[in-house]
């Protein structure tokens, strides 16, 4: 199971015991917020995009109440944002839809953290399944995800 893979990965940071698993689904921001017991914005959703040339993914971890701003994405990355299609998600991220997370991804996958998360001390990304999450500080999220950098490519949903 993917959550077991994530727990093994997080063990190197001593964080494997922080992974929460739920009886109910946490596959969407709204479901995850209910399962965790926090406002949706504190769910650190992992959005998956195609890299410009390679058959690899870019993952952007953002607050649950934002969406990618196409103009900001293009300005930062130099090309138009194109989310992975359903058939590509597991192959390029290592996880199924609903459980995509920024941990232990395939080689060549770049992880970025959006500044929308910086409003919070603790956020809750998924852990490889559609019924898991982990409470992390921003420093822990940055370290454990091996993020390349903090970026500003999102805007509040209208």
**pLDDT, tens digit, 9 for 90 and up, residues 113-126:** 999 999 999 999 99
Q: Is 157 domain-assigned?
A: no
Cα atoms in the Cβ-side hemisphere of radius 13 Å centred on 70: 4
Mean pLDDT (the chain) is: 95
- CATH number of residue 19's parent domain: 3.90.960.10
Under DSSP, is residue 73 helix (H, G, I), strand (E, B) or coil? helix
Q: Is 156 domain-assigned?
A: no
Q: Is 77 domain-assigned?
A: yes
Q: Is 117 domain-assigned?
A: yes
Least confident of 88-92, 121-125, 144-148, 150-154: 88-92
Q: Is 154 domain-assigned?
A: no
Query: Domain containing 128: what range?
Result: 2-149
Contact status, residue 96 vs residue 125, Cβ threshold 8 Å: no
User: What's the CA angle centered on 45, arms 39 and 51, to 5 degrees?
Assistant: 160
Q: What is the DSSP string of 117-148?
A: GGG-SEEEE--SSTTEE--EEHHHHHHHHT--
pLDDT of residue 1: 57
pLDDT of residue 55: 86
Ranges of beta strands (E only) in the chain are 20-21, 43-50, 57-63, 66-68, 110-114, 122-125, 132-133, 136-137, 149-151, 154-156
Q: Residue 136 and residue 103: Cα distance in Å, rounded?
A: 12
Q: What tens digit of pLDDT does each residue of 87-137 get?
A: 899 999 999 999 999 999 999 999 999 999 999 999 999 999 999 999 999
Q: Which of 71, 90, 89 is nearest to 81 (CA)?
A: 71
pTM to 2 decimals? 0.96
Q: What tens digit of pLDDT does each residue of 20-43 get?
A: 999 999 999 999 999 999 999 999
Domain count for the chain, please give it: 1
pLDDT of residue 83: 94
Q: What tens digit of pLDDT does each residue of 41-76 get?
A: 999 999 999 997 778 999 999 999 999 999 999 999
Q: Is 79 domain-assigned?
A: yes
Q: Is 84 domain-assigned?
A: yes
The first and second tokens of residue 6, run together, are 């994530």
The first and second tokens of residue 12, run together, are 């190197």
Under DSSP, is residue 61 helix (H, G, I), strand (E, B) or coil? strand
Q: Residue 107 and residue 12: Cα distance in Å, rounded?
A: 18
Q: Is 155 domain-assigned?
A: no
pLDDT of residue 53: 77
């Amino acid at each position: 199971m993917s959550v077991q893979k994530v727990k093994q990965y997080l063990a190197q940071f001593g964080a494997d015991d922080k992974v929460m698993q739920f009886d109910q689904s946490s596959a969407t921001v709204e479901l995850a917020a209910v399962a965790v017991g926090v406002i949706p914005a504190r769910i650190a959703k992992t959005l998956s995009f195609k890299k410009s040339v390679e058959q690899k993914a870019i993952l952007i971890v953002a607050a649950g109440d934002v969406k990618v701003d196409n103009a900001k994405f293009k300005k930062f990355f130099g090309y138009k944002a194109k989310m992975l299609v359903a058939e590509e998600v597991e192959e390029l991220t290592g996880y199924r839809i609903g459980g995509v997370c920024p941990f232990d991804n395939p080689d060549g996958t770049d992880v970025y953290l959006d500044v929308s998360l910086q409003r919070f001390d603790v956020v809750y990304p998924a852990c490889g399944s559609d019924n898991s999450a982990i409470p992390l500080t921003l420093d822990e999220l940055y370290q454990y995800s091996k993020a390349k950098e903090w970026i500003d490519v999102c805007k509040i949903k209208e």
